[in-house]
């Protein structure tokens, strides 16, 4: 045994606690594994949210057009050689959208409004448009080659025109449809997967509105936008039935009772109070000695990491990373974590990729980071969201450096060596730039992994499993180091103590994520990202995507 590692603690657990924990684990298993009822689909996005959509005044024509974006209405105006466009949706998931359109002006060769459902990467589209001939046309194309065309009926334009057209767009994995209704008649054009295969590929689909005026003028007004995720996508149920709430409450109360009973056991109570009690706890939990001056090293590590983060934070982060933070915090501010999960599946990538809707904004991670974005939405104004994420990531890196100091000091007993190791971690360019410049949250993942390592070094199985569980519930990248950490835990604790600690940690982790489940998040969010990306890691041995790409 290493001189600075504590001896194993084999304490007998009271039978009542063991029985209660077993029952609680069964309840947790039922709550997580059994499917929850699916709520009938309702609109996820209502109206025109300027943060979620992308307005591009200049399309493929040389001059910019004019547009007015309000919560209840969108107006597009195109002059000669102008093509303003608005990307309403970029989605991987099946969705449907409805809107109402009126043509306010059309002179010369102009197309007042085009409704386009397309794959921007492959330039495959199903679209409909108001033509210069007073007719509504529709067609499916691949590049410049038209695969299908249809005439959907006439329309009237102008300030006094009574025509109000009700549009409906629907995309499913095997079928896409665009329809327009006016004066009690409905006309539609639909295509199947085998007709336009690129429209149904793995790339995101976008719903775009645009006005084009090669030689004339056009103006259109769009209202009553409603976008709905189809029920085939079940990343979030939107409802927590009373039985589920009751079960989560029982688990929470049981865990609190278990912890209280463990704390009140005689071998856990301090025999004296005050400073002596604190000193005894410190000596027994991993500080091998080295003088009081050794405790200055953690302050130095944390201060150096914070100072470097403050100096680097003003540097711009990647535009796509900024867009993710802006969209997620905005959606969390508007409707909580459930709205974040659902709305992010429909949000566009803004100007991060030149105004083209190439990337989906869907939240791809396990649920722990939802707390970060929900907390920032509550505490920080929209303009400071990116800076707040950088600050949180830098703080996690500083705390991780302190944990490394604790580990090395515990294992080696030399505070100087421990301090240098901690500084090497906290000031590592990969750690520091990822947190302070790019605004990545990997330092939070590393913090949980270091917490698990501390649990192994301090002979605390529950701490080990809680840290490992939090890492897996933060980012899928934790799967890359899961096997060696599991081997470390089994070697350190033995099979019986490892399983005992894992059972208690499972209850603690469930209590930590219970607020998300109570808010309506489906339990599959706990493991679906891990399973999906875990399978994606299998492609690392082949040419192409690497681990950074595979984590989503």
Please state the length of the chain.
Answer: 552
Residue matched to tokens 């899928």: 476
Q: Give the position of tokens 């327009």.
A: 180
Task: Please tell me which residue, 24 or 465, carries the higher pLDDT value.
Answer: 465
Percent of the chain surpassing pLDDT 90: 50
Q: Flag the least confident range among 244-248, 265-269, 293-297, 370-374.
A: 265-269
Of 177, 170, 168, give the one whose Cα is nearest residue 195. Answer: 177
Banded model confidence at residue 19, pLDDT cuts 50, 70, 90? low
pLDDT, one tens digit per residue, over 333-343 is 998 998 998 99
Q: 368: closest CA among 549, 510, 196?
A: 510
Task: Read off the pLDDT of residues 386-427 as tens digits, 9 standing for 90 and up.
Answer: 999 999 999 999 999 999 998 888 887 788 888 999 999 999
For residue 144, what are the CA distances in angstroms to 123, 125, 133?
9, 10, 21
The tokens for 375 are 């907390």
CA atoms within a 13 Å half-sphere pointing along the CA-CB vector of 237: 19
Distance, C-alpha 271 to centroid of its chain? 47
Predicted confidence (pLDDT) per residue in 32-59, tens digit: 666 665 555 567 899 999 999 999 998 8
Q: Which two tokens stand for residue 459?
A: 């002979």
Among positive and negative, which fits the CA dihedral 154, 158, 164, 165? positive
**Helix (H) and strand (E) counts in the chain:** 14, 15
- The confidence band for 511, taking pLDDT boundaries of 50, 70 and 90, is confident
Q: What is the pLDDT of residues 95-112, one digit of tens each?
A: 999 999 999 989 888 999
Minimum mean pLDDT among 72-81, 144-153, 229-238, 476-485: which range? 229-238
Which residues have a Cβ under 8 Å from the Cβ of 35 and sit 6 or more positions away?
none
- Res 486: pLDDT: 92
Q: How high is the mean pLDDT of the chain?
A: 82
Whole-number pLDDT of residue 67: 92
Please check whether residue 182 is in contact with residue 163, taking contact to mean a CB–CB distance below 8 angstroms. yes
Cα 169 from Cα 166, distance rounded (Å) = 10
Q: What pLDDT, on a 0 to 100 scale, did the predictor assign at position 273?
A: 40
On the question of pLDDT at 248 being above 80, the answer is no
pLDDT for the residue numbered 467: 95
Q: What percent of the chain has pLDDT over 70?
A: 76
* Confidence band of 458 (pLDDT split at 50, 70, 90): confident
Question: Residue 442: is its pLDDT beyond 50?
Answer: yes
| pLDDT above 60: residue 253 | yes
Q: Is the pLDDT of residue 271 over 60?
A: no
Give the span between the Cα atoms of 126 and 180, in whole angstroms: 13
Structure confidence by residue, pLDDT tens digits, 191-205: 999 999 999 988 899
Q: What is the pLDDT of residue 129?
A: 95
pLDDT at 279: 46
pLDDT at 217 over 60: yes
Q: Does 14 have pLDDT greater than 70?
A: no
3-class DSSP assignment, residue 410: helix
CA distance 67 to 84: 7
Residue 354: pLDDT band (50, 70, 90) is confident
Residue 281 vs residue 160, higher pLDDT: 160
SS3 270: coil
Angle CA 97–102–108, to nearest 5: 120
User: Which residue from 196, 179, 176 is spatially nearest to 187, judged by alpha carbons?
Assistant: 179
pLDDT band at 539 (very low <50, low <70, confident <90, very high): very low
Q: Is the pTM of this model over 0.75?
A: yes
Yes or no: say if 338 and 236 are a contact pair by the CB < 8 Å rule.
yes
Say if CB 405 and CB 288 are below 8 A apart: no
Domains of the chain: 14-38+234-266+443-536+543-552 (no CATH), 43-229 (2.60.120.200), 291-440 (no CATH)
């Amino acid at each position: 045994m290493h001189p600075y590692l504590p001896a194993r603690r084999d304490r007998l657990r009271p039978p009542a606690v063991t029985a209660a924990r077993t029952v609680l684990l069964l309840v947790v298993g039922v709550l997580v594994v059994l499917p929850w009822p699916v709520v009938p689909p309702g609109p996820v996005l209502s109206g025109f949210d300027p943060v979620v959509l992308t307005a591009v005044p200049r399309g493929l024509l040389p001059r910019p057009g004019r547009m007015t974006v309000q919560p209840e209405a969108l107006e597009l105006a195109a002059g000669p050689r102008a093509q303003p466009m608005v990307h309403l949706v970029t989605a991987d998931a099946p969705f449907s959208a409805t809107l109402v359109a009126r043509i306010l002006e059309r002179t010369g060769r102009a197309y007042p409004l085009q409704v386009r459902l397309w794959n921007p990467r492959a330039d495959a589209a199903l679209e409909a448009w108001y033509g210069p001939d007073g007719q509504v046309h529709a067609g499916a194309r691949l590049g410049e080659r038209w695969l299908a065309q249809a005439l959907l009926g006439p329309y009237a334009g102008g300030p006094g025109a009574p025509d109000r057209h009700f549009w409906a767009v629907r995309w499913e994995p095997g079928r896409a449809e665009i329809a327009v209704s006016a004066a009690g008649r409905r006309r539609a054009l639909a295509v199947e997967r085998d007709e336009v295969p690129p429209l149904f590929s793995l790339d995101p689909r976008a719903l775009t509105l645009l006005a084009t005026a090669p030689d004339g003028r056009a103006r259109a007004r769009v209202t009553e936008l409603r976008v709905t995720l189809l029920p085939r996508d079940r990343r979030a149920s939107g409802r927590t039935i009373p039985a589920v709430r009751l079960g989560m409450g029982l688990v929470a109360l049981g865990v609190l009772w278990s912890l209280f009973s463990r704390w009140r056991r005689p071998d856990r109570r301090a025999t004296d109070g005050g400073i002596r009690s604190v000193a005894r706890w410190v000596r027994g939990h991993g500080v091998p000695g080295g003088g009081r001056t050794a405790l200055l090293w953690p302050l130095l590590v944390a201060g150096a990491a914070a100072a470097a983060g403050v100096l680097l934070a003003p540097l711009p982060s990647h535009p796509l990373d900024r867009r993710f933070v802006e969209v997620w915090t905005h959606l969390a501010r508007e409707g909580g974590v459930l709205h974040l999960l659902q709305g992010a599946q429909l949000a566009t990538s803004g100007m991060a990729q030149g105004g083209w809707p190439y990337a989906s904004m869907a939240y791809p991670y396990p649920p722990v980071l939802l707390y970060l974005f929900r907390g920032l939405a509550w505490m920080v104004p929209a303009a400071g969201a990116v800076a707040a994420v950088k600050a949180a990531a830098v703080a996690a890196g500083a705390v991780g450096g302190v944990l490394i100091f604790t580990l090395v000091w515990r294992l080696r007993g030399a505070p100087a060596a421990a301090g240098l190791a901690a500084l090497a971690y906290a000031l590592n360019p990969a750690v520091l730039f990822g947190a302070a410049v790019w605004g990545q949250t990997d330092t939070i993942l590393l913090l949980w992994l270091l917490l698990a390592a501390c649990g192994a070094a301090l002979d605390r199985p529950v701490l080990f499993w809680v840290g490992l569980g939090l890492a897996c519930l933060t980012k899928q990248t934790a799967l890359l180091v899961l096997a060696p950490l599991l081997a470390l835990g089994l070697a350190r604790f033995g099979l019986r103590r490892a399983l005992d600690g894992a059972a208690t940690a499972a209850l603690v982790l469930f209590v930590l994520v219970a607020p998300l489940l109570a808010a309506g998040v489906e339990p599959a969010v706990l493991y679906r990202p891990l399973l999906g990306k875990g399978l994606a890691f299998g492609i690392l041995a082949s040419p192409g995507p690497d681990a950074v790409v595979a984590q989503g």
